[in-house]
Amino acid sequence: MHELGIAMRIAEIATRVARQEGVKKVDAVLVEVGELSGIVPEALLFSFESAIKNSFLENSRLEINLISASAKCSRCQTVFRPEGFFSLCPVCEGVDCEILSGKELFIKSLVSENGK
């Protein structure tokens, strides 16, 4: 499953960051996931559970902040919500649209009880 590899990568990076900062226990890992990233949040949550089993991150949870997609038409400058990477502008039907958001997939921060 696609999400398992990503969950393992998130766990790996979060573990490294936590150790660098001397955090003993991570309560939550906050990630930003764009609508167009192709990630299914439920699948990612499920995968994260198995990725952190018996690891430093065990018992920490994954919090997903879903970012909605937006695109801008380079012909008429309309900003709209695309249905996918290849969308027509709803106003002028132009094909040359730039994706502004929705492709995100990154770790935003780590949350731990001792405030770090």
For binding to Zn ion (CB under 5 A), which residues are involved? 73, 75-76, 78, 89, 91-92, 94
- Angstrom distances, CA of residue 21 to CA of 8, 16, 82, 88, 97: 20, 9, 39, 45, 41
Minimum Å gap between C-beta 93 and Zn ion is 7
Long-range Cβ contacts of 74-79 (<8 Å, 24+ apart): 74/98
Minimum Å gap between C-beta 102 and Zn ion is 18
Minimum Å gap between C-beta 88 and Zn ion is 8
DSSP assignment string, 67-106? E--EEEETTT--EE--SSSS---TTT--S-EEEEES--EE
Compare residues 50 and 77 and give the one whose CB is closer to Zn ion.
Answer: 77
Compare residues 1 and 76 and give the one whose CB is closer to Zn ion.
Answer: 76
Minimum Å gap between C-beta 70 and Zn ion is 14
Compare residues 1 and 95 and give the one whose CB is closer to Zn ion.
Answer: 95
Compare residues 19 and 75 and give the one whose CB is closer to Zn ion.
Answer: 75
Residue 67 CA to residue 82 CA, distance in Å, equals 13
